[in-house]
């Protein structure tokens, strides 16, 4: 329990719980006090929880130390905080325990999940990098209603492994890519996220370790932590996860799982080369480690021909165990259709867990997906030009307004992975929020701290939104460089 009580000693971790705390009228110190009180009431903070020092929280929230001092004073006046010599500032024992707030302990994906729950809100949010749906979705839905609905309705609709027609379509898709696959090696899931949850539940037992890329995607890291697995990060280069450092990590940690995103890595946008895919598969086989490849962004490239590189599993040597997760994100994430491709025994174990979780994924959405599969190459080709155009437009705006910011032009995906020229992105994220932009700092994506000066900036916004987005980011950056954290002269409460 001691580690949980000290969880929020770092200001950046607490900031993910507070969210858009500066919104609304009133002095900053009172809004901060109200946000902390609300977190205690909701159960995100509980009795005995240690809060950051005044200086640490001020740095993380980009405010003056006086603001935090006044907020803490306000909370002590409300009997919500205790301060004891040598013990720091803690939530008062008088605070009644609340039900769980639903957050993963130690999870840095909280802000992303919370934005999905709250909706987009007034700020321009960069928490979600998903695209709008392809027009072919409507066409496929019409075809399902005209040709498939009667047959669908004769079935109860509870097929835990997925509609046979969709499983066959997925299998044919991989076979055409050079990875021979049967329908028995495919499980349909409600999005790629559920697929990752199921695979983690199959492979991970406490204590265990997952080797991941650094950076990685925070909700995925939270999935691993939710089953009490440790995470060890290996950096990327321009071809994917660093093979030499991966070899060292596999030997040192003896992980239960290697998690990689070979096809348009999120957030870096790197397409792992064929040579690197083969090398990673060979290393995993040599060390007896199962590979979980997450290709949720497959089909999100810039190529005009729509050709898709085979998954990492296609390069695996005999005896290697590779599980592939993918989805129709490139067509429309709102379909919530994903799948797992892997050895039949692993698919069986995942299917049991899926049946316990939700019995089956929605049948009509699966029927739409089955109708879309024959068109995937054409859809990918038609959308690649827009994806490339939007990326180039955002890059031009950033070069003009924020010339000190640096990034590698991605091979695909939906975001730029931007390095700030100086400072901590957690601090900038707080100031950007006051300028109307919700950004995801690098600290949420890399537990090592190597990418604390990075931001993920999605590029699929319409041009007019991108213009406003970059204007707000530039204003926030100018304010931070010229003036530092925002100051105020708070009115101290009478105690």
Give pLDDT tens digits along the chain (495 positions).
445 566 676 777 788 788 788 887 889 899 999 999 988 888 888 888 899 999 999 888 888 889 999 999 999 999 999 887 667 899 998 887 655 555 544 455 555 544 444 444 568 988 887 788 999 999 999 999 999 999 999 999 999 999 999 999 999 999 999 999 999 999 999 999 999 999 999 999 888 999 999 999 999 999 999 999 999 999 999 999 999 999 999 999 999 999 999 999 999 999 999 999 999 999 999 999 999 999 999 999 998 776 789 999 999 999 899 999 999 999 999 999 999 999 999 999 999 999 999 999 999 999 999 999 999 989 998 899 999 999 999 999 999 999 999 999 999 999 999 999 998 999 999 999 989 999 999 999 998 999 999 999 999 999 999 999 999 999 999 999 886 655 444 444 333
Identify whether 101 is part of a domain: no
Is residue 124 left, alpha or beta, with left meaning phi > 0 and alpha meaning psi from -120 to 50?
beta
Alpha-carbon distance of 307 to 454, in angstroms, equals 31
Distance CA 250, CA 229 (A): 15
Residue 488 belongs to a domain = no
Q: What is the pLDDT of residue 471?
A: 97
Same domain? 292 vs 371 = yes
Mark which of 62, 91, 120 sits at the end of a domain.
91
Give the count of domains, the chain.
3
Contact yes or no for 213/236 (Cβ under 8 A): yes
Q: Which two tokens stand for residue 487?
A: 């100051």
- Indicate if 348 and 387 belong to the same structural domain: no
CATH code: domain of residue 87: 1.10.10.10
Burial of 470 (0-12, 13-18, 19+ CB in 10 A): buried
Q: Are residues 190 and 328 in the same domain?
A: yes
* pTM tops 0.75, yes or no: yes
Residue 397 · residue 404 · CB < 8 Å: no
Bridge partner list, 294: 325
One domain for residues 237 and 324: yes
326 and 373 housed in the same domain = yes
Closest CA to 479 of 433, 415, 419: 433
Domain boundary among 377, 395, 415: 377
Show the tokens assigned to 382: 């038609």
CATH code for the domain of 329: 3.40.640.10
Q: Point out the domain boundary residue: 377, 408, 437.
A: 377
Distance CA 254, CA 232 (A): 11
Question: Residue 491: its pLDDT value, please?
Answer: 43
Residue 349 lies in a domain: yes
Residues 250 and 145 in one domain: yes
Residues 367 and 418 in one domain: no
Question: Both 239 and 367 in a single domain?
Answer: yes
pLDDT of 320 reads: 94
Query: Residue 185 corresponds to which tokens in the numbers above?
Result: 């090696």
> Is residue 489 in some structural domain?
no
Residue 115's CATH number: 3.90.1150.10
Indicate whether 69 and 157 sit together in one domain: no
Bond preceding residue 435 cis, omega within 30 of 0? no
DSSP state of 97: P
CB 67 within 8 A of CB 58: yes
- As a whole number of angstroms, the distance between CA 274 and CA 281 comes to 11
> Does residue 116 sit in the same domain as residue 172?
no
The answer to whether residue 99 is domain-embedded is: no
In a domain, 492, yes or no: no
202 and 311 both lie in a single domain: yes
Residue 490 lies in a domain: no
Counting runs of H as helices and runs of E as strands, what totals does the chain give? Answer: 18, 16
* Domain enclosing residue 19, as ranges: 2-91
100 domain residue, yes or no:
no
pLDDT of residue 490: 44
Looking at the fold, whether 459 and 349 belong to one and the same domain comes out as no
Give kind and range of the element (H or E) at residue 240.
Answer: strand 240-241
């Amino acid at each position: 329990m001691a580690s949980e009580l000290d969880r929020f000693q770092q200001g950046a971790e607490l900031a993910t719980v507070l969210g858009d705390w500066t919104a609304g009228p009133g002095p900053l110190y009172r809004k901060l006090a109200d946000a902390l009180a609300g977190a205690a009431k909701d159960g995100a903070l509980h009795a005995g929880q240690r809060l950051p020092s005044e200086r640490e929280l001020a740095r993380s929230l980009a405010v003056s130390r006086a603001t935090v001092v006044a907020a803490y004073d306000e909370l002590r006046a409300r009997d919500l905080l205790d301060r004891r010599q040598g013990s720091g500032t803690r939530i008062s024992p008088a605070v009644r325990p609340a039900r769980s707030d639903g957050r993963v302990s130690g999870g840095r994906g909280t802000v992303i999940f919370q934005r999905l729950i709250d909706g987009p809100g007034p700020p321009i949010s960069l928490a979600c990098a998903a695209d709008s749906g392809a027009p072919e979705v409507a066409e496929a839905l019409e075809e399902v209603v005209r040709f498939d609905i009667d047959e669908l309705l004769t079935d109860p609709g509870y097929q835990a492994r997925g509609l046979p027609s969709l499983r066959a379509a997925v299998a044919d898709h991989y076979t055409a890519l050079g990875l021979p696959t049967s329908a028995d090696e495919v499980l349909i899931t409600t999005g790629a996220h559920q697929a990752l949850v199921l695979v983690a539940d199959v492979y991970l037992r406490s204590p265990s370790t997952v080797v991941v890329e650094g950076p990685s995607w925070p909700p995925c890291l939270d999935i691993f932590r939710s089953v009490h697995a440790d995470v060890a990060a290996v950096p990327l280069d321009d071809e994917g996860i660093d093979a030499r450092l991966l070899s060292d990590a596999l030997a040192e940690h003896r992980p239960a799982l290697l998690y990689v995103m070979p096809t348009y890595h999120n957030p870096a946008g790197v397409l792992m080369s064929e040579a690197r895919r083969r090398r990673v598969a060979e290393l995993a086989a040599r060390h007896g480690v199962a590979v979980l490849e997450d290709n949720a962004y497959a089909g999100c490239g810039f190529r005009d021909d729509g050709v898709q590189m085979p998954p990492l599993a296609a390069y695996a040597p005999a005896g290697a165990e590779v599980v592939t997760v993918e989805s129709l994100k490139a067509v429309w994430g709102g379909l919530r259709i994903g799948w797992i491709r892997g050895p039949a025994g692993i698919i069986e174990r995942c299917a049991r867990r899926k049946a316990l979780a939700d019995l089956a994924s929605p049948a009509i959405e699966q029927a739409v997906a089955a109708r879309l599969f024959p068109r995937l190459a054409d859809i990918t080709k038609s959308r690649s030009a827009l994806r490339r155009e939007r990326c180039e437009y955002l890059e031009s705006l950033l070069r003009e307004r924020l010339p000190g910011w640096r990034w590698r032009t991605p091979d695909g995906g939906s975001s730029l992975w931007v390095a700030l020229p100086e400072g901590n992105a957690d601090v900038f994220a707080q100031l950007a929020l006051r300028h109307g932009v919700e950004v995801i700092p690098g600290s949420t994506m890399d537990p090592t701290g190597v990418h604390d000066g990075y931001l993920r900036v999605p590029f699929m916004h319409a041009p007019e939104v991108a213009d406003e987005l970059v204007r707000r980011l530039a204003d926030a950056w100018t304010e931070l460089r010229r003036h530092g954290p925002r100051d105020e002269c708070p009115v101290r409460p009478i105690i």
